[in-house]
Structure 1
Amino acid sequence: MNVGARFLLEKVNSHIMNIYKKLHLLTVLSGVASGLTAPIIYIFILDKGIDISDLGILITVVSLTMVLFEVPLGLFADRYGKSLTYTLSLIFNVLFSFGVFYFNDFIYLLLCMIFAGLAMSLASGTIEAMLINGIEEQENKSIIVQKNVANLKSARVVGIVIGAVVSLIASIMYLYYPSYFTSFDYMEFGFIAMGAMYIIQMPIALSVKDEPFNRRESTSPTFLSTLSHSIVSVKKDKITRTLMLSTLLFAMGVIAIEKFWQIRLSELIEERSLPWLFSVAFICSSLTSLAGHILSVHICRFFSNNFNSALVGCRLVCGTAYFAIFLSESILMFIICLLVVNFAFSASQSLLSTLLHENIENSRRTTLLSYLSCFNQVGGMIGIAVMALVVSGNNISYVFMASGIVIILSAGFHMNSIFEKNYCPE
């Protein structure tokens, strides 16, 4: 290789690394923004005088907005540029952050939740798609993809932990040094800081250049025809269809931890949790999730990089932990199983994404990730309804039994693929 070619290669590699660093920085900052308010957002809204039933409506509106707009906005990202789409998501997130901070009326808060749903729909899969699209074709690409996805998800969890720690420190300072919060309380500070995190990301997002695929074509199909074609392709492709249905069923099961763990823990300790305890629990679960993302690479190696086998293993562990929560009345056992669920769930995320990335081309990557997120949202909504029915006539612990059954069933979608050629050798 001559000097000119070597210089050009080094320049290209340097440019790619610069983009990778920016994508990971955006992911960390986005995680910080989420971590600042995630432990206290529902408490903050209830403190505005919103009752629990109206809070349920607000939460549902976010999910419904994502279900309606997830796929169309994924197509928008592939068609007009992922960097532009992510920047638009930041604008909606800023409107959400300062709107929830400022408004107390239910109607305005409802509008803010629509903004939140649109923001998540716009951001869904954009950074991950840009990251994976930059990986060149090579023999062990699937292993590299899995490592990159795991690293990206780890970066988000690191940001979430940082944000949650800041939220915890602010809550403790507000408790012992209230004079420092003359203008805002610590929860209001969280939403102001969250909005600032999204504003900081805007110039970084705009500096990441990605080429919309439709600009390479002389004649581009209409948006509706592209949407119709994407739906047909999901229906026809066996692997993609399996991943979507598997995601839907798994989401139905894991929703029990997200929505019911606080209630179950409060039953076991027989006292109302203090606000700062939510931050502590959130940080601990986030750290366990981080371990799951980081160690997912080693889990893949344990299963000889057979991603379906590793995914089935993680889901069986997750389902077993749910059954242990159902059977045990011990606080220690509950905490251990809660951490195991978080670990197994997080470890499985990069495995599922890798199986999807193996099966799609760059021009459809954000769209298919949006489909995956949409099925995840629908599964979560169905799961909430099913678990609410289960708990209506039984003890809350039966929710975890039902979830364990659903999660183990979701592993069945991947059993037939274990012995197929779905792995890459080292």
Structure 2
Amino acid sequence: MKQEEATLRFAVQQSIHWMIVGLMIPVITLIFQSKGLNLREIGFVMAVWIGSTTLLEIPLGSLADTYGRRGTYLVSLLLNTLGCFVLYLANEVTFVLLAAALLGASRAVYSGTLDAWFYDAFHQAQGKQTYHSALAKINVAVTIGLAVGSLIGGWLPDIASNSPNVFSSIYDINLLGACIANITLIVITLMLIDDRRHQRNTQPKQVRKNAFQLCTQALKVCWKHDVLSRLMQATVVFGMVLSSVENYWQPYLADILHGTSSGVIAFGAVSALYFIMSAVSSLISVPLLRVFSGLHKTLMFTTRALAGVCFIFLAYTGHLLSFTLCYLLFFFLLTVGNNSESVLLHENTEEKMRSTMLSISSFMVTCGGVLASLAFGVIAERFGISASWIISGALLVLSSVVFIFVSEKRDFKTT
């Protein structure tokens, strides 16, 4: 297999995967409300969803390295399908909580599976591309998938509203659509992803033992490794900042728009521009790496520090135009170094624990999000959203310093 083919296979698979995720993005809160849940209950359900992912992230991540990456990923699709179907049938909060737990577990099982597969498959394939440039293309495919899925997810309820006797809620069509799409993706994944090299012929008891040992070993390596330990420190802060802006940008913008002629369409426009900016940052990261002489750590330090400064400026915006420009620039700077971070993480991780290490990284992002929700929620309530953003921006600037101490060789092969 050539590197171009491996990249195309993974790009197609990931675009479909994230398109399915996008089906739920515009209506997930509305689905919960259609099941009779109030805002307090919805908050509890989301806590169960995120909590199940957090608790299972690392233990289940080692199963992909032990049992097989494609097989583990397919299990996550089955769990996601089951979670969507339970949510479709749910008529009380208990079953909604069960669905949330299944969906959270699905996310934990998925984490680090096919990303690890692609890194290994790419480097075993023939070609002269770099993983960094290939990853940029993959992230564009992911963004397109999310955008298309979100558009379809917002359009499906309109179709259901024209057939009022078919669905008890117009949002049920999104859940059924996700179930059908997941099953279709299972077939597509079997066709596109060849993981025979990582299939294991071990007994269940041995699998559990190996998974536990691998999990423990990966945690020790992560704690002691010069590069990985610093990446994880920065990842926690990244999760905190990401949660801070995602939780509060809508109410902040609502205050800006209060009393103006701008309507809800402004939120949709900003969200759409965010998807575009995410794709642009991934593409620009390739030529930008050349500007920094092939040093990933210098790229990450510079862009993350500037993102922190931009976030502080965002806290002082008071008009729609200034908010939008600052918001998009912040996200561009925050995410343009993600590909470089992924490269360093993969390069410093042994193949046998690659999925486990990716799960640990995802766990750190989630932990940062939980910490931000607890701490910045109190700060925002007492002192305002701007105060929480100023603190977040300062933390992002300070955390970017750890990249300076990362050991790295210059990568002049940046195309």
TM over 0.5: yes
**Percentage of matched positions with identical amino acids:** 22
Deviation digits for residues 226-256 of structure 1 (CA, Å, limit 9, x no counterpart): 2222222222212111111110022112211
- The corresponding residue for 1:158 is 144
Specify whether residues 279 and 86 from structure 1 end up closer, same or farther in structure 2 by C-alpha distance, changes over 3 A only: farther
1:379 pairs with one of 329, 351, 368: 368
1:274 Cα deviation after fit? 7.1
Structure 2 counterpart of 1:66, from 53, 56, 69: 53
Match of 1:246? 234
Q: Compute the displacement of 1:362 (Å).
A: 1.7
1:256 and 2:239 correspond:
no
Deviates more, 1:373-382 or 1:26-35: 26-35
Does structure 2 retain, via aligned residues, the 8 Å contact 1:33–1:195? no
Task: Write out per-residue CA displacement over residues 80-115 of structure 1, whole angstroms, 9 at most, x where no aligned residue.
Answer: 110101100100111122222331311111111111
Asked if 1 retains the 8 angstrom alpha-carbon contact of 2:6 and 2:122, the reply is no
TM-score (norm 2): 0.89
Q: 1:270 is matched with which residue: 258, 263, 275?
A: 258
CA distance in 2, matches of 1:106, 1:92: 19
In 2, Cα distance between the equivalents of 1:17 and 1:66? 33
1:130 Cα deviation (Å)?
0.9
What aligned pairs does 1:159-308 form with structure 2 within 5 A after superposition? 159-170=145-156, 173=158, 178-179=161-162, 183-184=166-167, 186-207=170-191, 208-210=193-195, 211-212=197-198, 222-270=210-258, 279-308=268-297
Cα deviation, 1:306-344, whole Å, max 9, x if unaligned, reads 101111122122212211121121121111122122222
Contact 1:293 1:347 in 2 (8 A): yes
**Which residue of 2 is the match for residue 132 of structure 1?**
119
1:43 to 2, 19, 30: 30
Give the AA of the match of 1:383: A
The partner residue of 2:352 within 363, 373, 389 is 363
Structure 1: how far apart are the matches of 2:163 and 2:272?
24
When residues 354 and 267 of structure 1 are mapped into structure 2, their CA distance, relative to the original with a 3 A threshold, is: same
User: Mind listing any 5+ residue stretches in structure 1 that lack a counterpart?
Assistant: 1-11
Match of 1:342 in 2: 331
CA contact (8 A) 1:32 1:197 kept: no
What amino acid is the match of 2:186?
A: M
Contact between 1:40 and 1:275, CA under 8 Å: does it hold in 2? no
Distance 1:137 1:163, change over 3 A: closer
CA 1:271–1:183: 2 relative to 1, 3 Å: farther
On the 8 A contact 2:290/2:412 being kept in 1, the answer is no
Distance (whole Å) between structure 2 residues aligned to residue 46 and residue 165 of structure 1: 21
Sort the Cα spacing of 1:279 and 1:114 in 2 relative to 1 into closer, same or farther, 3 A: farther
Unmatched runs of 5 consecutive residues or more in structure 2: none
Is the Cα–Cα contact under 8 Å of residues 128 and 152 in structure 1 kept in the other structure?
no
Query: Does the CA-based 8 Å contact 1:265-1:331 persist in structure 2?
Result: yes
Contact 2:214-2:353 at 8 Å conserved across structures: no
Change (3 A) 1:271 1:55: farther
381-390 or 334-343, which moves further after superposition? 334-343
- After alignment, is 79-88 or 274-283 more displaced? 274-283
- Amino acid aligned to 2:162: S
Matched with 1:75 is: 62
Cα contact 2:7–2:138 (8 A) shared by 1: no
What is the CA distance between 1:363 and its match in structure 2?
1.6
TM-score, normalised to structure 1, is 0.87
Kept in 2, the 8 Å contact 1:252–1:406? The answer is no
Deviates more, 1:245-254 or 1:161-170: 161-170
Aligned length: 404
* Partner SS, residue 425 of structure 1: coil
Q: 1:298 to 1:91 in 2, by over 3 A?
A: same
